Amino acid sequence: MLAGVPLFLLLSSVALSEDSLWQKINSEGKELREQGRYDEAEKASSHALAEAEKLGPEDYRVAISLNELAIVCHLRGRLDDAERLYRRALGIWEKLPKRLETATALSNLARLCLDRTNYAEVERLSKRALAILEELSPRHPEVANSLHNLADVHALQGRYAAAEPLYREALTILENSFGPDHPELAYGLTRLGRGRLCARSFR
């Protein structure tokens, strides 16, 4: 009940110092994806990845492009392709100094594992993401993503008593980050409600 509406942080915290062909194509791919034009988005994101790889196989822009292409594959239900891309992006971030994007990559991969009902992997990845965030930015909105993933694992297995505090903590972080009227908060409230329904189905 909870999987199927993935929430992604899109690694937008990376500041780009100059306009470039890569940046232009990557932005186009993101816009096309947000419009639901997945065929075109996949082509643009693949092109952006090819441009990024000219800068070096482990350049941070390669990781950003891999993540964007993975999201498109994930939304299209091509989970094998998405997982391969997410893991490659994560491998690049893990070789760089510890940063928030590493936690984001872990969270996105955890979301895919949740869709595959690989709950043990979801917990492992989410806890790794939370450990990084606790060190770098414990109230960052990305914390809510990892908390949601952990809460969903509990709720999907009927452990709502364990899930609810995590959902509520995520809501507090989202409200403090975005304010009470932001769409992210509404999404968090929806997750809380779905978690309750899921837990009831186990009774």
Q: What is the CATH number for 126? A: 1.25.40.10
Q: How far is CA 156 from the centre of its chain?
A: 19
The answer to whether 20 and 59 have CB atoms below 8 angstroms apart is: no
Does residue 56 lie in a domain region? Answer: yes
- Dihedral of CA atoms 203, 115, 36, 140 in degrees, nearest 10, equals 90
Residue 90 lies in a domain: yes
Kindly state whether residue 12 falls inside one of the protein's structural domains.
Answer: no
Q: Crossing angle of helices 100-115/79-95, nearest 10°?
A: 160
**Within-domain flag for 29:** yes
Distance CA 38, CA 72 (A): 7
- Between 4 and 197, name the one with better pLDDT: 197
Contact predicate 39/96, CB 8 Å: no
pLDDT at 5 over 70: no
Q: Does 16 reside within a domain?
A: no
pLDDT computed for residue 20 by the predictor: 84
Higher pLDDT, 195 or 20: 20
CA distance 77 to 38: 11
Mean predicted confidence (pLDDT) in 79-89: 97
What's the pTM? 0.81
Q: Any idea what DSSP says for residue 96?
A: S
What integer pLDDT is reported at residue 4 of this predicted model? Answer: 42
- pLDDT tens-digit profile of 6-52? 444 444 434 344 448 999 999 999 999 999 999 999 999 999 999 99
Q: What is the pLDDT of residue 16?
A: 43
Q: 195 or 203: whose pLDDT is higher?
A: 195
Q: Which two tokens stand for residue 192?
A: 């809380």
Q: What percent of the chain has pLDDT over 70?
A: 80
CA gap 179, 106 in Å, rounded:
26
Q: Quote the CA–CA distance of 169 and 202 in Å, as a whole number.
A: 24
- Give a yes or no: residue 6 inside a domain: no
pLDDT tens digits, residue range 127-160?
999 999 999 998 898 999 999 999 999 988 888 8
Number of domains into which the chain is organized: 1
Task: Enter the DSSP assignment of 159.
Answer: -
The confidence band for 99, taking pLDDT boundaries of 50, 70 and 90, is: confident
175 alpha carbon, distance to own chain's centre: 19
Report which residue type is found at 152: D
Phi-psi category of residue 78: left, alpha or beta, with phi > 0 → left and psi -120 to 50 → alpha: beta
Residue 176 has pLDDT above 90, yes or no: no
The mean of the pLDDT values for the chain is: 85
User: What tokens were used for 3?
Assistant: 């999987």
Q: What is the pLDDT of residue 143?
A: 93
In a domain, 153, yes or no: yes
Residue 10 lies in a domain: no
Domain that holds residue 95: 21-200
